[in-house]
Amino acid sequence: MLHALGLAEWHWATRHCPRCGGSLEPRAAGHELVCTGCGRPQFPRSDPAVIMLVAAGEPSSAEERCLLGRHPRWPEGRFSTLAGFCEPGETLEDAVRREVAEETGVVVGEVTYFGNQPWPMPSSLMLGFHGRALTEEIVLQDDDVEDARWFTRDEMRAQAEAGTLVLPGGVSISRSLVEHWYGGPLPGSW
Ligand SMILES: [Zn+2]
């Protein structure tokens, strides 16, 4: 299903050859588009995006806390892991550190890979990471994040039960990152 959506989006968004502006014809059951002018083929692409759960404090201790942020247009109480696109020439680990610094001012040290999820709306591959914070002061400096907070596991559970913290949905990599860090299922979702 995601594959078909991704291909449909690619066909919709890719109308002309980027080299000569010629029109494109589908080949290989739509998995390739070939320019009728210069013959150059086009293939579907995925843009890498990073999504990360950043934690601070002694790992697995009661004081350990994780950083979640919220988008200005989200309903009240909704928080999620931070995310952003990887820039050209940037490693994924550097993209994690840059995005967290840009959105919250928090400095991230160690970054470890968690897992990935295709997100073809329009054409991203979400790469999930755990990051270890070196600083904890939050300085919001990006219009994409209107609020960011640290949550201990106890605070997360209590606020999720009360409905004042609404976490991402069950099939998202964001949910998986949060529950993996938390150590089990949490109540409530978008
Ligand atoms: Zn062409």
DSSP states along 52-110: EEEEESSTTSTT-EEEEEE-TTSPTTB-B-EEEEPPTT--HHHHHHHHHHHHH---EEE
23-60: buried (b, 16+ CB within 10 Å) or exposed (e) per residue?
A: ebeeeeeeeebbbeeeeeebebeeeebbbbbbbbbeee
- Confidence at residue 189, expressed as pLDDT on a 0 to 100 scale: 79
Round to whole Å and give the CA distance between 109 and 112: 10
Round to whole Å and give the CA distance between 130 and 96: 9
- Per-chain residues with Cβ under 5 A from ion ligand 1: 17, 19-20, 22, 35, 37-38, 40
User: Does domain 47-182 match CATH 3.40.50.880?
Assistant: no
Q: How far is the CA of 46 from the centre of ligand 1 (A)?
A: 21
Q: What is the DSSP letter of 166?
A: B
Domain boundaries, the chain: 14-44, 47-182
Q: How far is the CA of 120 from the centre of ligand 1 (A)?
A: 25
- Confidence at residue 156, expressed as pLDDT on a 0 to 100 scale: 97
Q: How far is the CA of 32 from the centre of ligand 1 (A)?
A: 14
- Confidence at residue 190, expressed as pLDDT on a 0 to 100 scale: 76
DSSP H helix total and E strand total for the chain: 4, 9
- Confidence at residue 64, expressed as pLDDT on a 0 to 100 scale: 98
- Confidence at residue 119, expressed as pLDDT on a 0 to 100 scale: 80
- Confidence at residue 165, expressed as pLDDT on a 0 to 100 scale: 96
Q: How far is the CA of 16 from the centre of ligand 1 (A)?
A: 8
| CA 51 remoteness from chain centre | 3
- Confidence at residue 1, expressed as pLDDT on a 0 to 100 scale: 67
Q: How far is the CA of 33 from the centre of ligand 1 (A)?
A: 10
Q: Contact 74/169 with Cβ under 8 angstroms?
A: no
Q: How far is the CA of 23 from the centre of ligand 1 (A)?
A: 7
Q: How far is the CA of 169 from the centre of ligand 1 (A)?
A: 42
pLDDT tens sequence across 23-51 = 999 998 888 999 999 999 999 888 899 99
Find the distance separating the first CA and the last CA of the chain, reported in whole Å: 21
Instruction: Identify the segments of the chain with pLDDT beneath 70.
Output: 1, 120-121
Q: How far is the CA of 57 from the centre of ligand 1 (A)?
A: 54
